[in-house]
């Protein structure tokens, strides 16, 4: 029964992959693309582009009691645990990595036949709440 389930899942996966083909999407979703019709090549990538990006993340961790039960189990029936309550000590702290991200970019592309060469500059200001300061 288990082999039959794997066989059906594999066939479903192969059948779903048959629907996808390369270049389903047009060039309109790519940044910097334009739909200027050129009599020689059709679409040209020449030109300048500019844009911005914004984002945010909210996450926090609390490992302050993560080792409490393990240490209490390891030190059970010992004098150090009975007198000093080592298992109640905080070994790891809380962490908060909530922050925002923003910046911008600009660039210029040049196209020769099928070759596209470009240059791009981006800017993201340093923020003191970034991880790995």
Candidates 50, 28, 53; CA nearest to 108 is 50
Can you give the pLDDT at residue 42? 60
Residues in the chain: 133
pLDDT in tens, the chain (133 residues): 678 788 777 777 776 665 555 555 555 555 555 555 555 556 778 899 999 999 988 888 888 777 888 888 888 888 888 888 888 887 777 788 788 889 999 999 999 888 899 999 999 887 655 444 4
d(CA 32, CA 113): 17
Can you give the pLDDT at residue 133? 43
């Amino acid at each position: 029964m288990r082999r039959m389930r794997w066989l059906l899942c594999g066939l479903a996966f192969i059948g779903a992959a048959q629907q996808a083909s390369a270049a389903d999407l047009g060039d309109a979703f790519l940044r910097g693309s334009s739909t200027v019709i050129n009599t020689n090549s059709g679409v040209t990538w020449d030109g300048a582009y500019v844009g911005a990006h914004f984002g945010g993340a909210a996450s926090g961790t609390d490992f302050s009691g993560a080792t409490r039960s393990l240490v209490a189990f390891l030190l059970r029936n010992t004098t150090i645990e009975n007198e000093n309550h080592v298992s109640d000590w905080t070994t790891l702290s809380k962490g908060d990595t909530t922050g925002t991200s923003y910046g911008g970019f600009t660039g210029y592309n040049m196209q020769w036949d099928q070759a596209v060469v470009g240059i791009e500059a981006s800017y993201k200001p340093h923020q003191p709440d970034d991880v790995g300061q």
